[in-house]
């Protein structure tokens, strides 16, 4: 049947290079390519209802740099690997995808937005034993609760005043400009 809302919210942060069975860098595959695949497969159903797509991204997208090498090399982990950079790149890809969905689908009534839900005390920080994530775990008591992120998503789903907004980026509860690379149509 029709799909009214799709919230893409899978995420990992792998500090060591890992490849999927298809030879893709795991962070990009999980955080972006998975969203891309499910969204494109559900587009006909979303178009039936003038549906809404919410791509959960991160303020980390501002540190993403998808111009530093070919996208093929970035997506396959063929460059000097840095887990933090891979995470930021995947989150920039989320915002770029949101903008491209807006360009291609707004006339069909499908809207898309990207959202940074806040720095939240979730299990993403527990998945690796790398020193950066071990350090981040020390700050979990000072991070927001997962409910803050859930509320930010819910507002974009349920409040009518957000229904017509498309191609924009939200930082928790506020619409803010995205990183400069997020407007690069060539990317």
User: Which residues have a catalytic role annotated?
Assistant: 87
Q: Where are the alpha helices (DSSP H) in the chain?
A: 26-28, 34-49, 71-75, 83-105, 131-138, 146-158
Find all residues with CB under 8 Å of 35, minimum gap 6, and list them.
8, 10, 55, 94, 97
Residue with tokens 């937005």: 113
* Cβ 36 vs Cβ 97: under 8 Å: yes
Between the CA of residue 38 and those of 9, 10, 83, 122, what are the distances in Å?
A: 11, 11, 24, 24
Token couple for 147:
């409910």
C-beta separation of 187 from 181 below 8 A: yes
Burial class (CB in 10 A: 0-12, 13-18, 19+), 56: buried
């Amino acid at each position: 049947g029709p799909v009214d809302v799709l919230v893409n919210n899978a995420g990992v942060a792998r500090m060591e290079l890992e490849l999927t069975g298809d030879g893709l860098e795991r962070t990009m595959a999980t955080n972006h390519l998975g969203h891309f695949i499910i969204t494109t497969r559900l587009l006909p159903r979303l178009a039936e209802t003038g549906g809404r797509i919410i791509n959960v991204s991160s303020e980390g997208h501002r540190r993403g740099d998808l111009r530093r090498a070919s996208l093929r090399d970035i997506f396959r982990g063929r460059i000097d690997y840095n887990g933090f950079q891979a995470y930021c790149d995947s989150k920039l890809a989320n915002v770029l995808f949101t903008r491209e969905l807006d360009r291609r689908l707004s006339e069909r009534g499908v809207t898309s937005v990207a959202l940074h839900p806040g720095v939240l005390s979730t299990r993403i920080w527990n998945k690796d034993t790398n020193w950066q994530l071990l350090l981040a775990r020390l700050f979990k008591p000072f991070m927001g609760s997962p409910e803050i992120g859930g509320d930010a998503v819910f507002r974009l789903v349920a409040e009518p005043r957000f229904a017509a907004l498309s191609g924009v980026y939200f930082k928790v509860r506020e619409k803010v400009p995205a990183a400069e690379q997020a407007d690069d149509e060539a990317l």
